[in-house]
Amino acid sequence: ELAQATLDNIDKTNDTINSFISVNTSIGQEPAFEIAADQPLQGIPLAIKDNILTKDLKTTAASKMLANFRPIYEATVVDRALRAGMVNIGKTNLDEFAMGSSTETSYFGATKNPWNLNKVPGGSSGGSAAAVASGQVIAALGTDTGGSVRQPASFNGVFGIKPTYGRVSRWGVIAFSSSLDQVGILSRHVVDSAQILEAISGYDKHDDTTSTQEVPAFSKIKADVKGLRVAVPEEFMGYGVDPKVKEQVQKAINTLQQQGAVVESVQLPHAQYAVQVYYIIASSEASSNLQRYDGIRYGYRADDVHNLEDVYIKSRSEGFGDEVKRRIMLGSFALSAGYFDAYFNKAAQVRTLIIEDFKKIFADYDLVVGPTAPTTAFDLNSRIDDPVVMYMNDILTIPANLAGLPAASVPVGLADNMPVGLQLIAPPFAEQTIFNAAQVLE
Ligand code: GLN
């Protein structure tokens, strides 16, 4: 009944916000496996970002390339959510192949921010964030390669967490940048994300980068920050952060302090290079991962082709959008023989310096906090033609991906009537610290 009511509501509201690319029309069917009666997530609808494979249900990555692609298997995260009793309610909109920060590069049109329909919902998990913020669902899966769960969570006034790299399986997640990609969760309440993370985490024999670390009972949250050592990187409060955003973030930090946290200012000196490092590494890995869309095995194939090279060139030229092509070109260049050392290798070295910066901080602190994004949601169509301005928006979220750290965004107030998020970054596998601190602020 809840699933049906959810579908009816999506049907009524989706024309306005365009958060779903497709909905699951076979929800009445019996699941293929037994679900234990005492599952807390039983019957709860879950929206799934459309770059996560769902068996027999179209999975498009918001690209013309995969507009009619029906996977033959379920991503591990989806399989685990279903086994916990959740209902796959439908597939949410995203930037094409998760490349973007505004959900405007989707082949299926932009998603609108439910707080103000003239604003972007952020990206690339903008559909998931808008679906939660508008009340269509209580939770959604997203992916976060450079901020794609946290920045939309911030722009939509919801909670969003990217777990530690390796905490959650990437099997069945359409690969963008394999050393950065991680599935995350967006939800109205902190505890719901904790409950879902508990269900989807853990080792998966299909993904060798998953960790065998034990999965704690994340949902047993202790809303307590007494004695917690909190670091605020000076750099995070600079970087063109809007003063009104800063004000809300500072208020939240003060709350943590009043609740007993010890707050101190620190330095994260190499974070200033994060955007450059990220766009070289992510684009390089993307250029390799996206080689598989060649018009032969699956996905779009151009008509009117005369030889093999024609198949490749025309299918890729017609199947990919501009932003995806930009990344493939940038990545191929950075990896090419003459430039590998100057670009990819250099970026990998600076990535290590950023990892070291965090290690130093976490020797003395439990949590790093700051704004999730420098601004609130920006106007639709205002940045889409200026990739560099768009990329700079990710400066505060990217460092956690480069270092593989768990990080979340929790709503802390409004600036000019739009939501502001506080980012919480923890040491590897310390997601519980994030949930506990976020709960204090909810
Ligand atoms: N906005 C970043 C990009 O365009 C991050 C995307 C993501 O996390 N998937 O690459």
The total number of structural domains in the chain stands at: 1
- Domain limits at 80? 2-200
Packing angle, helices 431-441 and 243-258, rounded to 10:
100
Q: Evaluate the CA torsion angle 429, 433, 439, 442 in order and state its sign.
A: negative
pLDDT digits (tens, 9 = 90+) for 158-168: 999 999 999 99
Q: What is the pLDDT of residues 325-368, one digit of tens each?
A: 999 999 999 999 999 999 999 999 999 999 999 999 999 999 99
Is there a contact between 139 and 133 (Cβ–Cβ < 8 Å)? no
Tell me whether residue 69 is in a domain: yes
Residue 61 in contact with ligand 1 by CB distance below 6 A: no
Q: Which of 19, 49, 162, 169 is catalytic?
A: 49
* 101 belongs to a structural domain: yes
List, in sequence order, every residue forming a beta bridge with 186; answer none if it has no partner. Answer: 140, 160
The candidate with the shortest Cα–Cα distance to 121, out of 110, 108, 133, 112, is 112
Q: Which atom of ligand 1 is nearest to the CA of 94?
A: 9
Determine the Cα–Cα distance for residues 435 and 145; give it in Å rounded to an integer.
Answer: 20
Q: What percent of the chain has pLDDT over 70?
A: 100
Q: 42: CA distance to ligand 1 center in Å?
A: 32
pLDDT digits 0-9 by tens, 277-302: 999 999 999 999 999 999 998 899 99
Q: Which atom of ligand 1 is nearest to the CA of 327?
A: 10
Of 51, 95, 396, the one to substitute when testing ligand 1's pocket (max ligand atoms within 8 A of C-beta) is 95
| Residue 148 appears among annotated catalytic residues | yes
Render pLDDT for 405-433 as a digit per residue (tens, 0 to 9).
999 999 999 999 999 999 999 999 999 99
Q: 192-236: per-residue pLDDT in tens?
A: 999 999 999 999 999 999 999 999 999 999 999 999 999 999 999
Would you list the DSSP string of 369-397? EEESSSSSPPBTTSSTT-HHHHHHTTTTT
Question: Which stretches within 207-321 are classed as H helix?
Answer: 243-258, 274-289, 308-319
Q: Report the distance separating Cα 173 and Cα 116, nearest Å.
A: 30
Specify if 270 maps to a domain: no
- Alpha-carbon Rg for the chain in angstroms: 21
Please work out whether the CB of residue 144 comes within 6 Å of at least one atom of ligand 1.
yes
Q: Which candidate in 124, 154, 315, 409 is catalytic?
A: 124
Residue 152 alpha carbon to ligand 1 centre in Å: 11
Q: Residue 312: what pLDDT?
A: 96
Query: Whose alpha carbon is nearest atom 4 of ligand 1?
Result: 100
Q: Is 282 in the pocket of ligand 1 (CB under 6 A)?
A: yes
Q: According to the model, what pLDDT value does residue 256 have?
A: 98
Whole-number Å distance between alpha carbons of 159 and 154: 8
Evaluate if residue 36 carries a pLDDT over 90: no
pLDDT tens-place string over residues 302-313: 999 999 999 999
Element (H, E) at 87: strand 87-92
What whole-number distance in Å separates Cα of residue 97 and Cα of residue 224?
Answer: 38
Distance between CA atoms of 303 and 163, rounded to whole angstroms? 42
d(CA 311, CA 317): 10
Which of the residues 19, 63, 148, 315 is marked catalytic? 148
251 as an active site residue: the answer is: no
Interatomic CA distance for residues 326 and 320, integer angstroms: 10
DSSP 174-199: PPS-TTT--EEEEESSHHHHHHHHHH
Q: What is the reported pLDDT for 356?
A: 98
pLDDT at 35: 78
For the chain, give percent helix, strand, coil, nearest 5: 40, 15, 45
Task: State the first-to-last Cα distance of the chain, in angstroms, to the nearest integer.
Answer: 29
Q: Per the domain annotation, does 152 fall within a domain?
A: yes
- Cβ neighbours for 403, distance < 8 A, ≥ 6 positions apart: 354, 355, 358
pLDDT band at 123 (very low <50, low <70, confident <90, very high): very high
Mean pLDDT of 39-43: 93
Give per-residue pLDDT as tens, 322-335.
999 999 999 999 99
| Mean pLDDT for the stretch of residues 55-67 | 97
Q: At what angle do helices 190-200 and 431-441 cross, to 10 degrees?
A: 160
CATH number of 122's domain: 3.90.1300.10
